[in-house]
Amino acid sequence: MHPTQVLKAWRTGLNRRQIAWGAAAALLGASTLGMAQGAAAETLRIVPSTTITVLDPIWTTAYVTRNFGYMVFDTLFGTDAQGKIQPQMVGKWTTSADNKTWTFTLRDGLAFSDGAAVTSEDVIASLKRWSSRDTLGGLMAQSLDRYEAVDAKTFQIVLKQPFGLVLEALGKPSSNVPFIMPRRIAETPGDTQIKEIVGSGPYLFKADEFRPGQVAVFDKNPAYKPRAEPPSGTAGGKVVYVDKVEWRFIRDPQTQMNALLTGEIDIIEQPAFEQYATFRDNPDIRIVDAQPNGFQFSLRFNFLHAPFDNEKIRHAALLALGQEAMLRTQVSDKQLYKTCRSMYPCGTPFASDSTGDYTGVPQIQKAKALLAEAGYKGEPIVLMRPTDQTTIGKLPLVAKQQLEQAGFKVDLQNMDWQSLVSRRARKDAPQAGGWNAFITSWVAEDIQNPLTMAMMNARGDKGWFGWMDDAKLEEIKSRFAQATTDADKKRIAEEAQLYAFQVGTHVPLGQYTVPAAVRKNISGIVPAGAQVYWNIKKQ
């Protein structure tokens, strides 16, 4: 549609959806929006789970930004479909007899999108920045003596003491992923967002075509050399079969569904839960579970400000919240959810029913008694609610009801998800633009053990949003990192969980899956711990 046609549409009263699509066509050109034969075969159109404004996958744990990272950056290692760590940018590696010196050599042909070769210095700067933000990376850094660039393609990680999860840290599939960036960009402090996107991954980000809230565009990277192995999880060959990928940011679930049904888009990453019945009955649509281990809902406290700077008050909130009402209200489709009181997702190696007095069922009277004992004075709790997130938008409404039944005063504040992501990084008092609590979701791969679980990062200002500072929890995690047997790891993981429930790191609110809805002419989606877009063909 030509810009003059958009103006005419406005004047003649066409509906809002037609105008929005017309404006997008004017911005991107008819070839990016039309369903002409050539464009349809080369351009993959996706509605992501939410809009994106933060493009730095180290600065934030937001999944849409993690997925953005997989488009444009690459990793040293990946995690395959069986959960095993496999080399990615690394060609070969060795360890010393005492397990303190790890030597890695990059494979041939790695180059950034600005044309510069990837070097050891780039890798070292990237790992330093990543470890300043990531829970597992931070623990590895505590065992670190130094990084050393042996030559342009070879680098070493030299440890003061053995760390049993080096490869697991370098190959972790989800937030925060240790993506490799050019040194000049990676030297940006971890608490400051990068200002330039230069990666060595399978796609090139078209910054000049980025329209926040409307569209993000990626071109196939012609210089990228995929590995020879077949794709598996975030490992193996990242072969790109399309020329272009467009992320369309459509907030309204009904408009998303209509666009998929008419073929205007190819994939909805996370449909509204109530739409699955319609999609299951449509012969042109397939339901594809790209993240089969599922997700967990959780509520996070802010440890800096009253009232949740008080352990007893956090624990009272934990006891007040129940999973079944949350899941029934938010997910509704019983095929897609289950209760699970373990902090580690049920079905994963460290899942445990040893959860102290937390049952996942509201214990209102017990919560009331604990609030009275703690001296709660009725301070309003600022609970943030993302109105544009169909996956979690209803949960704060249930949480508000359950907390108020226990005697809390809840100030529910509505905002879009990107505003929530920005606001949760602020340490201001709640009455000055900060917050007390928010609800989010985690892919199972992020929370399978104490080291990958951001909510168990208890390093204060260096920790995850909420900024818990707890030396005992960090000590338990250090013992887990040094454990050498599965039995010891299981025992220590359970100890960490019990302690986390005691002090109220967060509240698990149940598990769910949210498969993608995909046009039947799309094939090759790779199940992984993240949503990845290589290996996909469009007929």
What CATH number should be reported for the domain holding residue 86? 3.90.76.10
Lowest mean pLDDT among 8-12, 69-73, 123-127, 428-432: 8-12
Above 60 in pLDDT, residue 527? yes
Task: Based on the fold, state whether residues 303 and 396 are members of the same structural domain.
Answer: yes
Are 402 and 319 spatial neighbours (Cβ–Cβ below 8 Å)? no
DSSP class of 345: P
pLDDT confidence bin for 53, thresholds 50/70/90: confident
CA distance 170 to 155: 14
- For residues 400 and 427, membership in a common domain is answered with yes
Angle between helices 311-320 and 395-405 (to 10 degrees): 110
Strands 77-79 and 85-87 turn out to be: antiparallel
Co-location of 17 and 53 in the same domain: no
Looking at the structure, do residues 382 and 435 belong to the same domain, yes or no? Answer: yes
Total tally of structural domains belonging to the chain: 4
Scan for tokens 């590895």, then name that residue: 140
Residues 180 and 317 in one domain: no
Q: In this structure, are residues 100 and 161 in contact, taking their beta carbons and an 8 Å threshold? A: yes
Does 481 lie in the same domain as 348? yes
Residue that finishes a domain, picked among 136, 164, 186: 186
Residues 277-304 have pLDDT tens digits of: 999 999 999 999 999 889 999 999 999 9
Task: List phi, psi (to 5°) of 271.
Answer: -65, 160
Indicate if 312 and 410 belong to the same structural domain: yes
Distance of alpha carbon 129 from its chain centroid, rounded? 18
pLDDT tens digit sequence for 411-447: 999 999 889 989 999 999 999 999 999 999 999 999 9
Instruction: Look at residue 135 in the predicted model and tell me its pLDDT.
Output: 84
Give the residue carrying structure tokens 């009181």: 341
Same domain, 416 and 304: yes
Per-residue pLDDT band at 462 (split at 50, 70, 90): confident
Q: What would the pLDDT profile of 300-357 be if each residue is shown by its tens digit?
A: 999 999 999 999 999 999 999 999 999 999 999 999 999 999 999 998 889 999 999 9
Q: Global pTM? A: 0.81
Contact 118, 110 (CB under 8 A): yes
- Looking at residue 87, what is its pLDDT? 98
What pLDDT, on the 0 to 100 scale, is given for residue 529?
A: 85
Q: Are residues 59 and 156 in the same domain?
A: no
- pLDDT, position 14: 36
Question: What's the rounded Cα separation, in Å, for the pair 143 and 168?
Answer: 15
Residue type, position 234, single letter? T
Residue 34 pLDDT greater than 80, yes or no: no
The predicted model gives 474-489 an average pLDDT of 90
Q: What is the mean pLDDT of residues 510-536?
A: 96
Give the C-alpha separation, 355 to 139, whole Å.
25
**Token reading at 458:** 């208890």
Q: How far apart are CA 130 and CA 73, in angstroms?
A: 13
- Among 154, 186, 218, residue at a domain's last position: 186
Residues 178 and 198 reside in one and the same domain: no
First-to-final CA distance of the chain: 25
- Burial of 479 by CB count in 10 Å (0-12 exposed, 13-18 middle, 19+ buried)? middle
For residue range 158-190, what is the model confidence (pLDDT) as tens digits?
A: 999 989 899 999 999 998 999 999 999 999 999
CATH code for the domain in which residue 335 is found? 3.10.105.10
19 phi, psi to nearest 5 deg: -65, -45
Amino acid identity of residue 310, one-letter, is: N
Q: Tell me the sheet residues that pair with 300.
A: 438, 506
Q: Are residues 52 and 29 in the same domain?
A: no
Is the pLDDT reported for residue 40 higher than 70?
Answer: no
Cis previous bond, 508, omega within 30: no
Structural tokens at position 378: 């009725």
Token pair recorded at residue 110: 């790695």
149 plus 273 within the same structural domain: no
Q: How remote is the C-alpha of 29 from its chain's centroid?
A: 31
Over range 444-458, report the average pLDDT.
93
Region 56-61 average pLDDT: 94
Domain that holds residue 361: 295-512
Running DSSP on this structure, what letter comes out for residue 497? H
CATH number, domain at 58?
3.40.190.10
Q: How much is the pLDDT for 486?
A: 87
